[in-house]
Chain A
Amino acid sequence: MNQDKAIIKALKSQQGPFLSDGFNSEMMNRIHLVVVKKKRRMYIGTLCLITTASLGLISMALYLLRDYLHESFTVQLPSLSSLFDSLSKYGFGLYIAFLAILLIALDHYFRSVWQKHKSDKFRQYNT
Chain B
Amino acid sequence: MENPDEIIYIKRILDGETNLFSFFLERYSRTIHGLIVRIIPSKEEAEELTQDTFLKAFRKLDTFKGDCSFSTWLFRIAYNTAISATRKKKIIFPFIDDALLENVSEELMETVFEEDDNEYRLQRLEEAITELNVEEKTLITLYYTDGKSIAEIASLLEQTTDNIKIKLFRVRKKIYVLMTK
Contact = CB atoms under 8 A, between A and B. Distances in A.
Interface of A: 1, 3-20, 23-24, 26-28, 30-32, 34-35, 122, 125-126
Contact of B22 (A14, A15, A28): A28
Contacts of A34: 55, 58-59
Interface string B36-53: 011000010011001100
B129 A10 contact: yes
Interface in B27-76: 29-30, 33-34, 37-38, 43, 46-47, 50-51, 54-55, 58-59
Contacts of A19: 29-30, 33, 47, 50
A11 B18 contact: no
Contact of A6 (B26, B38, B125): B125
A23 B29 contact: yes
Q: Per DSSP, are chain A's interface residues mostly helix, strand or loop, or mixed? A: helix
B43 A17 contact: yes
A24 B51 contact: no
Interface of B: 4, 7-8, 11, 18-19, 21-22, 25-26, 29-30, 33-34, 37-38, 43, 46-47, 50-51, 54-55, 58-59, 110, 112-116, 118, 121-122, 125-126, 129-130, 140-141, 144-145, 168-169, 172, 175
B113 A28 contact: no
A5 B125 CA distance: 11
B102 to A, nearest CB: 18
16 contacts: A1-B168, A1-B169, A6-B112, A6-B114, A9-B116, A11-B141, A12-B145, A14-B38, A15-B145, A17-B46, A23-B50, A24-B26, A28-B25, A31-B54, A34-B58, A122-B11
